[in-house]
Structure 1
Amino acid sequence: MTQSPPSSADRSALRASCGDCFALCCTAFGFQRSSDFPIDKPAGTPCRNLADDFSCTIHQALRPRGFTGCTTFDCFGAGQYVSQVLFDGTSWVDEPDSKPEMFRAFAVARQLHEMLWYLAEAVSRSTTLGSAEVPTVLRVRIQQILDGELADVLAVDVESLRSEVRSVLIDVSAEARGGYPAAGDAVGDLHPSADLAGCDLRARSLAGADLRGAVLIAADLRGCDLSGVDLLGADLRDARLGGADLSNALFLTQPQVNAAQGDASTVLPDDLDRPSHWSLP
């Protein structure tokens, strides 16, 4: 038996609202010149394309201008949380001394919000009350941190918490994939952390496969049924997803979708948006 993916109501607060954020992703994080960015930008400095109102002056032309990395990033709602909740709507421009703590808080909160995204799905995928208890308890713990003070967020041991969440997700994945033919296929190239870059997987039976952490860069997945496929942390950059069904894939995120190549016939979970840069069939 397969479970339905979580409803939008479960994760509605974990979606970015850029208009309520002080452009934290454009300031707090740095990047180096690469295929994703045409320039170097040190962490803690505003992007040269940032306007005074925290909007992007080249938002409609990010990809043509070489800022592909900007179009794949997602903060899982951490930006507006830090801007409006932790710092009460007072920006780093109005209070320059707040920059170090605000940017540190954003880096932590982004990871906590991402964990909440996964755990919401873990609860939904659990087949029994017992198996849902552990991810539920973890969700409550993380939410309590986020409901606390700035000091509580900055004091989090992110790596330890992430390790706990990862263990839960692995257990839930095994349970959710149990009814699929490929669930036990760890032989050959269908396994966690597999290097499948550039592979043509269209003729493979993938449903239920554990591709957690797999490298699927430029892999051809057109028309594939990815139901029950664990994609936790999988690298989907330029993966060809035209006509693929990801509606019931496990632990898929917006950044992964944004980094892939899909079209109007690609089927996505209800929680995820179809990227504007995806081509039409």
Structure 2
Amino acid sequence: MSRKRETPSAGTPATGPVRPDLRADCANCFGLCCVALPFARSADFAVDKPAGQPCGNLQADFRCGIHTRLRERGFSGCTVFDCFGAGQKVSQVTFGGRDWRQAPDTAPRMFEVFPVMRALHELLWYVAEALTLRPARPIHADLRLARENLERHTRGSAESLARLDVAALRQEVNVLLLRAGELVRAEVPGRKKNHRGADLIGARLKGADLRGANLRGARLIAADLSGADLREADLIGVDFRDADLTGADLTGAIFLTQAQLDAAKGDATTELPRALSHPAHWVSATAS
């Protein structure tokens, strides 16, 4: 059910979807997430796989052999992973289109660089979103400088990427992202809840008023957020695994990613920011 808004959403991006180059393009990637990253047998992955070893489902053309059946085959963890376009950047730019199968000598460095590039692209995604937020205009100049610096790093050599201090860079950019979130939330009337980093696993928050809340890094695993008002909430780093977002209003929520939604539960009544879409398994669950 659509919630009637007393005021427009301050945080809603004015420019629509975030840059397409920050979205995964698996057709131009050498299956890096299926090789470079490790995973452990669990509810998210059906088998163990060490870093640097190709997943058994990876085909010769670098595509997943069970892509349309990942959840039913026990690989739901794959369905919620997002490289933010880092895979094709490493494959086609950093290594100039040379794949690790045809040039095995590139494999160790390519796999080492992939998570670094992913971190840079994730930061670029957040910075790109912050630059669409009207209340954050006072720091747009600083955000543009941060974007230029991040993009310069993404164009660097494999060697320079491997040497990059990602933690320090993330901390530097996070100062700006935190300020952007504060500026957006400040325009929401009334007192706002602060659940930054909170353990809210399994919390009963059905219909909760979380508009303009600070939920950065909160653990909302399996929480009931059905019908909750999450407009203009800062959701960077929130763990929404198995959280129920049915009927929740996330219009104007900031720093929310598609991967977070993919990990949650919801349906067609869940209202989302313009740049994001309802996951396919939500639609399937509603239809069934």
Sort the TM-score into its range (normalised by shorter chain): over 0.9
Which amino acid in structure 1 is aligned with residue 21 of structure 2?
A
The CA distance in 1 between the partners of 2:214 and 2:190, in whole Å, is 8
2:273 equivalent to 1:269: yes
Which amino acid in structure 2 is aligned with residue 228 of structure 1?
E
Which amino acid in structure 2 is aligned with residue 83 of structure 1?
S
2:15 equivalent to 1:7: yes
Which of 112, 117, 120 is the equivalent residue of 2:128?
120
Q: Which residue of 2 aligns with 1:167?
A: 175
Q: Secondary structure at the match of 1:277?
A: helix
Structure 2's unaligned 5+ residue stretches are 1-7
Q: Which residue of 1 aligns with 2:286?
A: 280
The CA distance in 2 between the partners of 1:196 and 1:64, in whole Å, is 28
Q: Which residue of 2 aligns with 1:201?
A: 205
The CA distance in 1 between the partners of 2:265 and 2:11, in whole Å, is 26
Which amino acid in structure 1 is aligned with residue 268 of structure 2?
A
Which of 35, 40, 52 is the equivalent residue of 2:48?
40
2:140 equivalent to 1:111: no
Do the aligned partners of 1:15 and 1:77 also contact (CA within 8 Å) in 2? yes
> Do the aligned partners of residues 20 and 40 (structure 1) sit closer, same or farther apart at CA in structure 2, a change above 3 Å counting?
same
Q: Which residue of 1 aligns with 2:237?
A: 233
Do the aligned partners of 1:21 and 1:83 also contact (CA within 8 Å) in 2? yes
Structure 1 residue 24: Cα displacement:
0.2
Q: How does 1:1-281 map to 2 (within 5 A)?
A: 2-5=10-13, 7-8=15-16, 10-127=18-135, 129-181=137-189, 184-186=192-194, 191-278=195-282, 279-280=285-286
Q: Which residue of 1 aligns with 2:5?
A: none
Structure 1 residue 151: Cα displacement:
2.7
> Do the aligned partners of residues 84 and 177 (structure 1) sit closer, same or farther apart at CA in structure 2, a change above 3 Å counting?
same
The CA distance in 2 between the partners of 1:262 and 1:204, in whole Å, is 16
Q: Report the TM-score when normalising by structure 2.
A: 0.91
> Do the aligned partners of residues 126 and 156 (structure 1) sit closer, same or farther apart at CA in structure 2, a change above 3 Å counting?
farther
The CA distance in 2 between the partners of 1:182 and 1:36, in whole Å, is 40
The CA distance in 2 between the partners of 1:271 and 1:84, in whole Å, is 25
Q: Secondary structure at the match of 1:127?
A: helix
Structure 1 residue 4: Cα displacement:
2.2
> Do the aligned partners of residues 129 and 170 (structure 1) sit closer, same or farther apart at CA in structure 2, a change above 3 Å counting?
closer
Larger displacement relative to structure 2 (262-271 or 95-104)? 262-271
Larger displacement relative to structure 2 (73-82 or 195-204)? 195-204
The CA distance in 1 between the partners of 2:241 and 2:37, in whole Å, is 20
Do the aligned partners of 2:198 and 2:219 also contact (CA within 8 Å) in 1? yes
Which amino acid in structure 1 is aligned with residue 76 of structure 2?
T
Structure 1 residue 130: Cα displacement:
3.2
The CA distance in 2 between the partners of 1:95 and 1:222, in whole Å, is 50
**RMSD over aligned Cα, in angstroms?**
1.7
Report % sequence identity: 48
Do the aligned partners of 2:139 and 2:176 also contact (CA within 8 Å) in 1? no
Do the aligned partners of 2:208 and 2:227 also contact (CA within 8 Å) in 1? no
Structure 1 residue 105: Cα displacement:
1.4
Which amino acid in structure 2 is aligned with residue 239 of structure 1?
A
The C-alpha deviation readout for 1:225-246, integer Å capped at 9, x for no partner, is 2111111101100011112222
The CA distance in 1 between the partners of 2:241 and 2:56, in whole Å, is 25
The CA distance in 2 between the partners of 1:128 and 1:58, in whole Å, is 42
Give the length in aligned residue pairs: 277
The CA distance in 2 between the partners of 1:79 and 1:98, in whole Å, is 15
Q: Report the TM-score when normalising by structure 1.
A: 0.93
> Do the aligned partners of residues 199 and 264 (structure 1) sit closer, same or farther apart at CA in structure 2, a change above 3 Å counting?
same
Which amino acid in structure 2 is aligned with residue 274 of structure 1?
H
Do the aligned partners of 1:126 and 1:175 also contact (CA within 8 Å) in 2? no
Do the aligned partners of 1:7 and 1:271 also contact (CA within 8 Å) in 2? no
Higher RCO, Cα 8 Å, sep 6+: 2
The CA distance in 1 between the partners of 2:124 and 2:217, in whole Å, is 19
Structure 1 residue 167: Cα displacement:
1.4
Structure 1's unaligned 5+ residue stretches are none
Which amino acid in structure 2 is aligned with residue 280 of structure 1?
T
Which amino acid in structure 1 is aligned with residue 207 of structure 2?
A
